[in-house]
């Protein structure tokens, strides 16, 4: 969560961000209008950079604690990064306390919190999506899967940290996915209902829009690569790399949400598949936050030239109709460096070295931290799966890619793995 203190030329004095990776957006909140930025909980990259004050002991699941902190420090803008507190209603509680908050209500956050809700909304408002059925009975799910054949996709209905989607290439894999969710309960309550949907072959793209409840401003697009291995192989992750721009946005959602009585305020992320056969887009998912790695630390924000703090504040006030965004030309790419074994069991404690050298390896390179900490000797170490986002800009995608990988070659993660 980011709490930001904006200067007296605006109507608020501070900003607060949450989510380890999303905290990297603080770099871009350091605008002329922002006097101070607080991050909860923060990470080693932020604390070492001096871009913000990290608040490691603020429990962002405790609405009263967050409200008290905001009131004490005069926080005038809260930006909620991860999906869990949005679904839990943190934005609702902050709004009732009169604190401007960039993030949707719990009702609107159901777009991400329940895939079944999202699919039903698509059906009702004519948003193209993959054919699907929803199940709570494993036997019924397997019967449907057998009728449809493989490949096929099995999804946990609720939040599963980006791991609840299984692309099953065989019937056996699909049956195993159903059993793991509905019988073994590997995702807990998030997997007590599953969506079985058709496998779409094509190219995946992501598009973002800032929404103020009435107006929407499309952001530049970004493309994410979720498979852990080269050549789009291996299990799904939370995202292993991305590039920007990439076209497409569905426009029917804002109308549908308004008609459902839960106007959306925040950033809307549309995950799309451009079908190989038809060349047309179909919706895979909606997220109610900046994507990772597409935006929060990386490819979109390194190309944004507008004052982000003012743009997000305008969204909170319902004033996006008069806002336009400026972007730098060219392309950007992020390469994620991950711990060995990710997304399965992975090594922790890898020492990260040569970060300064890596940022100097090529022009327009920036390294963002996600799951990092400092050890007793002051070294950066990896404490999670996706550790660093090595980001580069270039005239075109190839130049951005070359620069990013030049920097990756300089990074050293003992017992780690550049992806």
Cα separation of 381 and 160, whole Å? 25
User: What are the sequence ranges of the domains in the chain?
Assistant: 2-103, 131-198, 202-322, 331-418
Give me the architecture of the 331-418 domain, per CATH. Alpha-Beta Complex (3.90)
pLDDT score for 251 = 52
Q: What are phi and psi of 349, to 5 degrees?
A: 90, 10
Q: Which residues contact 203 (CB under 8 A, 6 or more apart)?
A: 223, 273, 274, 276
pTM given for the model: 0.77
Q: What are phi and psi of 388, to 5 degrees?
A: -130, 150
Q: Is the dihedral of CA 248, 204, 385, 119 positive or negative?
A: positive
Q: Is the dihedral of CA 117, 108, 245, 228 positive or negative?
A: negative
Residues composing the chain: 419
For 70, 172, 259, 381, the CA distances from 105, given in Å and listed in that order, are 18, 39, 15, 36
pLDDT score for 10 = 39
Domain 131-198 = CATH 3.30.1490.20: yes
Q: What is the band of 139 on the pLDDT scale with cuts at 50, 70, 90?
A: very high
Q: What is the mean pLDDT of residues 250-265?
A: 68
Q: Which of 124-128, 227-231, 289-293, 382-386 has the lowest mean pLDDT?
A: 227-231
Reported as a single tens digit per residue, the pLDDT across 100-116 is 999 999 999 998 899 99
Give me the architecture of the 2-103 domain, per CATH. 3-Layer(aba) Sandwich (3.40)
For 34, 151, 170, 273, 401, the CA distances from 203, given in Å and listed in that order, are 39, 16, 21, 6, 18
Q: What are phi and psi of 190, to 5 degrees?
A: -65, -25
Looking at the DSSP assignment, which residues form a beta bridge with residue 352?
380, 413
What is the chain's mean pLDDT, rounded?
Answer: 81
Residue with tokens 């969506």: 195
Q: Is the pLDDT of residue 296 over 70?
A: no
Reported as a single tens digit per residue, the pLDDT across 22-43 is 445 555 555 667 778 888 877 7
pLDDT score for 22 = 46
Return the structure tokens found at 10: 């605006």
Reported as a single tens digit per residue, the pLDDT across 171-185 is 999 999 999 999 999
pLDDT score for 60 = 85
pLDDT score for 368 = 84
pLDDT score for 6 = 44
Reported as a single tens digit per residue, the pLDDT across 361-382 is 999 998 888 888 899 999 999 9
% of the chain exceeding 90 in pLDDT:
38
User: What homologous superfamily is domain 202-322 in, according to CATH?
Assistant: ATP-grasp fold, B domain (3.30.470.20)
**Is the bond preceding residue 343 a cis peptide, omega within 30 degrees?**
yes
pLDDT score for 162 = 77
Return the structure tokens found at 320: 């996006």
% of the chain exceeding 70 in pLDDT:
79
Q: Is the pLDDT of residue 67 over 90?
A: yes
Q: What is the mean pLDDT of residues 240-257?
A: 50
More confident residue, 47 or 348: 348
């Amino acid at each position: 969560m980011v709490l930001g203190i904006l200067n007296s030329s605006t109507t608020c004095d501070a900003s607060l961000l949450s989510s380890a990776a999303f905290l990297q957006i603080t770099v871009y909140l350091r605008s002329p209008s922002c006097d101070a930025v607080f991050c909860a909980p923060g990470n080693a990259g932020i604390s070492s950079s001096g871009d913000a004050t990290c608040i490691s002991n603020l429990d962002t699941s405790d609405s009263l604690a967050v409200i008290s902190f905001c009131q004490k420090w005069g926080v005038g803008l809260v930006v909620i990064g991860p999906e869990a507190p949005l679904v839990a209603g943190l934005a609702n509680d902050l709004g009732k306390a009169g604190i401007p908050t960039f993030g949707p209500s719990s009702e609107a956050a159901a777009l991400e919190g329940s895939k079944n809700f999202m699919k039903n909304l698509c059906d009702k408002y004519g948003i193209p999506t993959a054919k699907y059925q929803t199940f709570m009975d494993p036997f019924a799910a397997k019967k449907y899967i057998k009728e449809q054949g493989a490949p096929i996709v099995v999804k946990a209905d609720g939040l599963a940290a980006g791991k609840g989607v299984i692309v099953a290439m065989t019937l056996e894999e699909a049956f195993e996915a159903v059993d793991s969710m509905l019988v073994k309960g590997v995702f807990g309550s998030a997997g007590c209902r599953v969506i079985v949907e058709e496998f779409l072959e094509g190219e995946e793209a992501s598009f973002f829009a800032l929404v103020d409840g009435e107006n929407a401003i499309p952001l530049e697009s970004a493309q994410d690569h979720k498979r852990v291995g080269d050549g789009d192989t291996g299990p799904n992750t939370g995202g292993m790399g991305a590039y920007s721009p990439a076209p497409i946005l569905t426009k029917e959602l804002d109308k549908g949400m308004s008609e459902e009585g839960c106007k959306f305020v925040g950033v809307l992320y549309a995950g799309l598949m451009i079908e190989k056969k038809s060349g047309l887009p179909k919706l895979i998912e909606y997220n109610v936050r900046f994507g990772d790695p597409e935006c929060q630390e990386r490819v979109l924000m390194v190309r944004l030239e507008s004052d982000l703090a003012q743009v997000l504040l305008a969204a909170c006030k319902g004033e996006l109709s008069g806002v336009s965004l400026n972007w730098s030309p060219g392309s950007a790419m992020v390469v994620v460096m991950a711990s060995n074994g990710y997304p399965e069991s992975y090594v922790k404690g890898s020492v990260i070295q040569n970060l300064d050298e890596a940022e100097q390896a090529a022009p327009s390179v920036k390294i963002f931290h996600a799951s990092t900490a400092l050890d007793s000797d002051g070294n950066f170490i990896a404490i999670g799966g996706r550790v660093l986002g090595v980001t580069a800009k270039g005239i075109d995608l190839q130049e951005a890619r070359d620069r990013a990988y030049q920097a990756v070659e300089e990074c050293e993660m003992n017992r780690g793995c550049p992806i």
